[in-house]
Amino acid sequence: MESLGVLTEYRATGDSMQLDSGNPLVEKTETLTTVTGTLSRLSLHDSKPWRQRRLKRLKSQAIHCAWRVRPVTDDKHPNKRTQTSLKVDAFRKKQMTRVARLSHKLLGAAPLQTFNRNYEEVITDWDLLKSKTNIQNVSSSSDPRIIRSFKVIDDVLCGAQSPTLLRRLAYVRLMDLFSFLEGLISFERKSGRVIRERYYRDASIAIDIYMSAQEDTSDPNGLRRQLRERRRVGRCWKDLSKPSPLLVLMYSEGAEPIINDFKRTNALNMRLTASMIMKELALSPGILPEQAFSSAVGCVQDSNKASQAVTSNSIIKTPSLT
């Protein structure tokens, strides 16, 4: 009734201000119109498919690539402009300085004398370890000889009486066995022999097989972390031994604490360090005995052939790790 009275007064006076002021009906109508318009705009925006709207956005990878290629400038603060290339160069110089320092600590003062002394000391045990872990005519990743080889290597790695030099070579042998086993697993998956989970990698399956070779499995999570750490150390020695397993004999006694420190020996640093050491060896002919080096290279070539045999259809029936 109050609204009808206001409307009658407006018709009599023609004053629009009197109609708008203090009229709850008009205020509610305007509020309802505003909310309806907002909802209609939101519904129009949401009518586009979510995937179509998402594709129009810049992906984080594209933004990162653009940041690495082009210098980043701040238009709002010209004095705080940063050149990405300068930062990258400074980071690379710092990294190469760290790698050079790491290489010097690993090699020591006389790598040739160290190699000669260690070679005569450990070559017999190394040949025995290779013969015990030699696998011929493997056709499945569940072959019991693989478990037996893991146990032989663990006896050297975990034995209190094992020489330090033989333990280095055992780490390299462990990584050769892992590479060989992952090749078998990959072939079984691709050939359809074994159905694996989609996101379960070959390396994870190899770790599971390695876990089955352990005696104490009461704490699976702790055991898996321990085996992964053992594999990390083995990967470091493998990187430092390329192209020859016996090259681990030329490193000083201070190499073990450096390798065991995971903060200093990440994968990138070890690859760069190994590359720098190999360049130094190439520039210094005769730094290693030719006979020892050739025998070591031959051992690596045989191991590489064994891993490649797993993925070859012509000789898949008789792969071996020698």
3-state SS of 224-249? Answer: HHHHHHHHHHHHHHHHHHCCCHHHHH
CB count in 10 Å sphere of residue 4: 9
Series of mean pLDDT values for 10-residue runs along the chain (322 residues): 49 46 49 53 50 52 51 52 64 82 84 87 93 87 92 92 92 95 90 77 91 90 92 92 87 88 76 84 59 47 44 42 71
pLDDT at 270: 83
- Which of 129, 95, 147, 101 lies closest to 245, judged by CA? 129
**Which letter does DSSP use for residue 253 in this model?**
T
The full set of domain ranges for the chain reads 1-37, 88-293+304-310
Are 250 and 111 in contact by the 8 Å Cβ rule? The answer is: yes
Cα angle for residues 203, 208, 210 (degrees, 5° grid): 90
Whole-angstrom distance, CA of residue 304 vs CA of residue 257? 29
pLDDT at 90: 78
- Which of 196, 199, 198 lies closest to 209, judged by CA? 196
pTM of full prediction above 0.85: no
Residues near 176 by beta carbon (within 8 Å), at least 6 away in sequence: 238, 245, 303, 307, 321
